[in-house]
Amino acid sequence: VRGTTPAALAAALDARLSGTDSAAVTAGTAPRDGAPAVVFQFTGQASPYPGMAGELYERFPAVRDVLDTCEGLHRDLGGGSLLDALLGTAGATGADSPWATDTAQPALFALQCALTRLWRDAGVTPGLVTGHSVGEYAALHAAGALTLEDGLRLTAARGRLMQKLCAPGAMAAVPLTRGEAVALAAEVPGAELSVANGERSHVLAGPVAAVDRALALLEERGTPGERLPVERAFHTALMEPVLDDFRAVLDETAFRPTRTPFVSALDGTLREPGWTPDTTYFLRHTREPVRFDEALRTVGAQEPAAVVEIGPHTTLSGLARRALPQARALPSLRRGTGLGALWAAAAGLHCAGADLDWRPLLAGSGGRRIPLPGYRFQHKDYWTGPELTAVRTGTPATDGATVVQHQAAVERVVRSIVESAARHLGHDPDAITGETSFFDLGADSLQMISALRELEQEYRVKVSMRELFEETGTPLLLAELIVSRMADETSEASAAPAASPVAPVPPAPPVAEQWPAAPAPAVPAAPVAPAAPAAPAPEPAAAPAYATRQELEDLAHKLQQISQIQLQMMTQLSQLLALQTAAATSGLNGTAAVAR
């Protein structure tokens, strides 16, 4: 279980014990046949956002080391600061604006190398790597084919040349089959099929006007697409002006043989260790379409236990979850959730059987791994924090209330999503859980359009079809996304549809304390109207829906008493067995000793 406060941990434990779906709980059975097969998949350029490395940089020394090195290398190359945008400090791109290509590519490479270093320091070594578009540069660095310096130099040059020489363009994710996407591109002059992510997940790219026209046609046909946050049409004819200049940069690079198997998203081919990329490969990679669907097919043939996304968001995890249902799809980061996704990924790897070294993950936090006894007979407390003080009964803890409210909101939204999905997909709601994949239910974009619109009207948030299928994929993850986007909610607000608000009754003004006064002259009393019935007294607030610290301590004490009783019973049983042994060997001198 995971949580940032004791109350959050308690809520997650409650969810686990009650069988309630919770994003804060990860469970699994580690295999007995050694370490699990782990794949690293590196995200492409549509994923970066300002501040994406902020909490990582602050929290982990290994991340700071890599990002500071990349910052120095980029400045030496004549570029500006990468850290401004990576950390979200002054001069960063606006949150809603596409990140300029000239800095987005080296910044993404730097972040991915930092995450790779962090995971490797924690004992997670990939048995296979793959990358999406520009993410292949960091994947090849992880595989040993590129040094950190060469990788940063190439991504900086690639981004700079595309910014300088390529006309502005656009890209759009479309929920179409390959044949449908090709047909749509043929209808719109200038549009090209630039990325294939899955059976019904493709990307069209080209001049801005062409992409806008394609999106308009999709909207008219009831299958809306989604514009991606980029300012160039990657992997199309608009990239051709950079090829000659980029060739010169590539020719100056000393590529190395790979040390880790690498799956290319250019054609889905598995390159075994010892393969060396060259200039021709990178030029094809720049111009030709991305076949990430083929890469995932090849990855799936290796039967990995976990696929860790190395990037700033969950862009590829949804694709992996659909293509590789037997593997755990674990994003390293999820936008807007701090380090929550990182801890969830660590938990997923641990439950999959990875032997994590927790020291790099705990470095600088003051936390440490506590070794616990492997059996139940050492009655010793292992509390690691300051002495606890009991909370007065009936006084809710702010953190606890927030956690309980958030969990309750997620559960309500999950129920709503399950009911909507069951209605639109023709399933029994009782057969759908928070962890059920929409793909397992046979969902496609046409079936889910109405369901999404119902949810948007009910909760006043916008969820795109791409986010539904590629970034969430289950009712629980979709509910977490919806709750996180519900703006202007107070700590008491639930995720249920808003009812007509009732104006609160203002409290009566305080009455000044009365002191005895001198008797006043008698005045004839005026008739007094009968007093209005007194308003009913407000009902007492309901007791908090979570345990207080005192109640938790009482429960721990009772559990300790139960353990002591069990120990006494085992001791008595041991004594009885010893007496029986002594009776059977009565001819021998001595007394049987009873070990405690």
Identical fold, 37-165+237-362 and 170-229: no
Q: What pLDDT sits at residue 550?
A: 62
Q: Which CATH number fits domain 170-229: 3.30.70.250, 3.30.460.90, 1.10.10.10, 3.90.1150.10?
A: 3.30.70.250
CA dist., res. 86 & res. 79, Å (int) = 14
Domain ranges of the chain: 37-165+237-362, 170-229, 398-485
| pTM score | 0.70
**Quick check: 102 pLDDT over 90?**
yes
pLDDT band at 516 (very low <50, low <70, confident <90, very high): very low
| Residues 237-271 pLDDT 10s | 999 999 999 999 999 999 999 999 999 999 999 99
What are the φ and ψ backbone dihedral angles of 40, each rounded to 5 degrees? -100, 125
Q: What pLDDT sits at residue 381?
A: 61
Q: What pLDDT sits at residue 499?
A: 45
Q: Which CATH number fits domain 37-165+237-362: 3.40.366.10, 1.20.120.1200, 3.40.630.30, 3.50.50.60?
A: 3.40.366.10
Mean pLDDT along residues 383-399 = 53
Percent of the chain whose predicted confidence (pLDDT) is above 70: 74
Among the listed ranges 163-167, 230-234, 387-391, which one has the minimum average pLDDT value? 387-391
Place of tokens 């977490």: 480
**Quick check: 277 pLDDT over 90?**
yes
CA dist., res. 290 & res. 139, Å (int) = 15
pLDDT band at 192 (very low <50, low <70, confident <90, very high): very high
**Quick check: 493 pLDDT over 60?**
no
CATH class of 398-485: mainly alpha
Output the furthest CA–CA distance in the chain (Å, rounded). Answer: 113
Q: Which residues have C-beta within 8 Å of that of residue 146, sequence separation ≥ 6?
A: 137, 140, 154, 253, 255, 256
Q: What pLDDT sits at residue 447?
A: 58
pLDDT band at 394 (very low <50, low <70, confident <90, very high): very low
pLDDT band at 508 (very low <50, low <70, confident <90, very high): very low
Joined together, the tokens standing for residue 120 give 């490797």
Place of tokens 């009782």: 430
Question: Nearest 5 degrees, angle CA 217-CA 167-CA 194?
Answer: 50
Residue pair 268/297 in contact by the 8 Å Cβ criterion: yes
| DSSP three-state, residue 450 | helix
